[in-house]
Structure 1
Amino acid sequence: MKKTLRIAGIALTVIGLMFVGWVTTPYWSHGEAVVEVTGTTTKREGGRDVYLVFTTSGTFRNTDSLHYLKFDSSDLQGQLNRPGRYRINYYGFRVPVLSLYRNITRAEPAP
C-alpha cells in the first residue's frame, strides 16, 4: 500500500511540474529574429480568427496574448500584409504534428 501511494505521489508531482512548464512556456521560450515575410493568411479556429504569417524562416501565428498583454493582432496583421523584412519578437515552439506555431508579439520594419 505504501509503495502504491509513493508511486501515485511521484506521478502527481511529475504531472504538476509538466503543467507548470506548459503554463509558463511563454516566459522562457521567447526570442527575436529578422525575417522576410512572404505572405499572410487568416484561418478560422474554434470561432475565432488565427492569423498566420509565412516567412523564409518558417510560419508564425499572430494572435492576441494575455501573457504579453498583446491585443492588437489585427492591426499587426495589417502591417505584416506588406511583404518585406521585419524584426519580430515571438514566443512558443513550432510543433508540426500538433499544428502549433510560434506567436508574434511585436513586429517592426527592419532596415
Structure 2
Amino acid sequence: MSELVKRIRNWTIGIGIVAILASPVYSYYFTDKVRTVINETQVKRSNGEDKYLVFTDSGVFENTDVWYRFKFRSSDLQNKIMKLKGKEVTIEKYGWRFGPLSWYENIVDVEGVK
C-alpha cells in the first residue's frame, strides 16, 4: 500500500473516531427546538429521585434538573408545562431518546405558540 493511501486511511479513521466521540457531547450541550402539542405529563419516581415526563405529539421528553447546565428549576418549568397542556408549544431541548436505557431528550424551556 502506498504511503498516500495509508495517510488517507489513517486520517479517515481518525476523523471517524472524533465524530463518534463528539456526537454525544454536541447533542448534550447544544439545544434545538421542536413545535408540538403537549398531551400529558407524569412524574416517574426512582431511587428517591423524580423525573418529570412530558408526552407530546412529537414524542416523550423529560424535564429534570441538570447541574452542568445550571438547570435547577424543573418544578417551576413543569408547572408551566402543565398549564400549556393541550396547546401548541415550542420546546427547547437537548439530548437523545434511547429507549433501552430510558434516556429522553431533556426540556430546557417551553413557550406557548401564539
Corresponding residue for residue 35 of structure 1: 36
CA distance in 2, matches of 1:55, 1:41: 12
Counting matched residue pairs gives 94
- Structure 1: how far apart are the matches of 2:59 and 2:77? 18
Determine the structure 1 residue equivalent to 2:4. none
- Which whole-Å CA distance do the structure 2 matches of 1:33 and 1:40 have between them? 17
**Unaligned regions of 5+ residues in structure 1, if any?**
1-13
Which letter does structure 2 place at the counterpart of 1:47? G
| Cα RMSD for the two superposed structures | 1.9
Q: Which of 80-89 and 96-105 deviates more?
A: 80-89
2:65 aligned partner: 64
Structure 1 runs (4+) greater than 6 angstroms displaced: none
**Is residue 2:99 matched to residue 1:96?**
yes
Per-residue deviation, 1:22: 4.8
Separation of aligned partners in 2, 1:62 and 1:47: 16
Q: Which residue of 2 aligns with 1:4?
A: none
**Post-superposition offset of 1:76:** 0.8
Q: Could you tell me which residue of structure 2 aligns to residue 52 of structure 1? A: 53
Verify the 8 A CA contact 1:35 1:86 in the aligned structure 2.
Answer: yes
1:26 to 25, 28, 38: 28
Percentage of matched positions with identical amino acids: 37
TM-score, normalization: structure 2? 0.72
Question: Is the Cα contact below 8 Å between 1:26 and 1:67 reproduced in 2?
Answer: no
Unaligned runs of 5+ in 2: 1-16
State the shift of 1:46 in Å. 2.3
Q: Who is 1:76 aligned against?
A: 77
Matches of 2:108 and 2:68, distance apart in 1: 10
TM superposition score normalised by structure 1: 0.74
For 1:31 and 1:79, how far apart are their aligned partners in 2?
19
